[in-house]
Each structure stands twice: as C-alpha cells, then as structure tokens.
Amino acid sequence: MEEQLDFAPVGYLVMDQELKIIEMNRTMIEMSHVESAPTHMHDLLTIASRVYFQTYFIPAIITHGAVSEMFLRLKGPDGPIPVLMNTRKRNELFECAFMQVPIRNEYENELLNAKREAEQISHATAEANSQLQLLLDEVECKREELDVMNERLKELTITDVLTGLKNRRYLEEFLPDIIQESGLALLMIDIDYFKKVNDTFGHHAGDSVLKELADVLADTIGTAGFAARLGGEEFVAVLPQMDLSEAQKIAENIRFNVETHDWPYQPITVSIGVASNSDCNSFPDLLNEADTALYNSKNAGRNRVSVSS
C-alpha cells in the first residue's frame, strides 16, 4: 500500500465478498486499536454492529454498489468506537473508508432527546385520544338517555295520566293505520250518572272510580284488544279483527263485570255502544257509529249494550 494512503486521515480497508479483510491502512489499524489487520470484518465490530452490518450491508452493497455513512461501532480497549463507513464496490472487492465520530455522545443525546420528545408526543396523543373516546362515550350515553327520554315523552303524550290507558291522541294518530291493516270493532263506554259520584263524594272519589274502571276494562278485554280513555267518564275498547257478534259478547262481559264489581263509594254501571268498521273507513266515522249506539243504550235505560245498525 502506498505510504500516502497508508497514513491517510481516514481509515481504509479492502475486503472480499466473503467480508475477509485483504488489506488495511495504518490509520485504520490505529483507529481500531489492533496490532495488525484482522482476518474478517466481524472481528472489528461490536456484537450489535456485527448484527446490524450483516443485516443491512450485504443487501445494500449488492443492490446499489455503494453504502454511504453507515454508522458502526468498532471494538476498542476502552469501549466501543463510533465510526461512519463509506463503501464502494470495485473489481468485485469492497473498498471501505472509516471516519471516527468524536461527537457521537452528543449525537446520541440528541437522539435520546428526540426519542423522549416523540414518546411525550405519543403519550400526549394517546391521552388526547383517550379523552376524546371518553367524550364520545359520554355523547353516546347522553344520546341514549335522550332517546329514552324522547320515548318516554312520546309515551306520555299518548297516555292518559290518571288511568294509564291510551288517550284520544293515540287513537287519532294510530287507529287509522290499524283500521287500514285489519277490521276492528269499537266499544264506546260511558259511566252512568258519573256526575253524582263527583257531586256526592268529591272529585278524588271520581278519579278513584275512573282508575278502577280502567283496571276492570283491561282485565276484561285481556289480549283481545286494548282500552283507551277519550276524556271525562268516556272510554273506548279497540278490538282488532273482531266482528260485531264477538264484540257484543265482550261488551256484555264488561257491563256485567262493572255492575258486579265491589266499588268503594256506590254501585257503578256503564252504557256501551258497539260498532265495527265494516261500513266505516275512518276513525271519526267509526267513533260516531259507536257513539250513536251508546246514545241508544242511554235512552233505553242505561246499564246495557247497543249495537250499531
């Protein structure tokens, strides 16, 4: 090796494709603190750098024919020696130049600081995502609560507060659909002489009678349909898919159960009108037919059932 290259200010070595060292200049020998050139490139490197070198150097040199500023650590008597290696493939050999990196510690500190900053950013991002997820969960919870409240509010708007039965609004909104889907019968039910209850015992007694009547209606009708309160002492029973004769039987059962019920203040009876939608295509028309039949029951002496003609 020429003297000028032997004492160049950078380490220099040549190795074959099996990474065996063919020659090494004096600067490289002094830099690596060995007495003479070792046999293999691995003999110069720390274990970690050896793994890194083996993993990345061969694929890079084969693909690109050169490797620039590959950071390695040489084995040294006082610890690893950081170097940057530049390599070029020429005549099937690898010519390598090594430059010692005396400010490696500062460089590593910068890397550590950068890593810490990255970890802090990652932690802050994770925390922000966690807080965002908590907010999203809270929003979802509030949305579910709002849905429940809306359903409850909707239920309240179609429910009679005193009796718990469906109210007139429910009938006006939903009964037309029921009428279109299937035939039904409607019972119009009115408490006989209800005003006497209020006048004699007070409105609290009247409210009690209305609530008990709602229970009697619900128990008597069962699964055949449902009862609703139109207002005051007027109720209806909605009986889907039922003809007049069957509806009349249920009406008689209601009348009888009311008459024989153990009322707290005075005996109570009801008058009932029965109609079906065979001749009526709307809720108002059906209600008018049932109301006309109810009027006939009252004119005939009350506590009786009349069927629309």
Catalytic positions, please? 233
Cα–Cα nearest to 304, from 273, 261, 266, 262: 273
Q: What is the H or E stretch that residue 259 is in?
A: helix 244-259
- Strand 166-167 and strand 226-231: the pairing is parallel
Cα 215 to its chain centre, rounded Å, is: 40
One-letter identity of residue 270:
V
212, two tokens: 């008990």
Q: Which helix (H) or strand (E) holds 284?
A: helix 283-299
Packing angle between helix 168-181 and helix 283-299, nearest 10 degrees? Answer: 110
Distance between CA atoms of residues 38 and 246, nearest Å: 111
How many CB atoms are closer than 10 A to CB 28? 24
Q: List all residues 6 or more positions away from 300 whose beta carbon is below 8 Å from its beta carbon.
A: 306
Q: What are the tokens at 269?
A: 């009876």
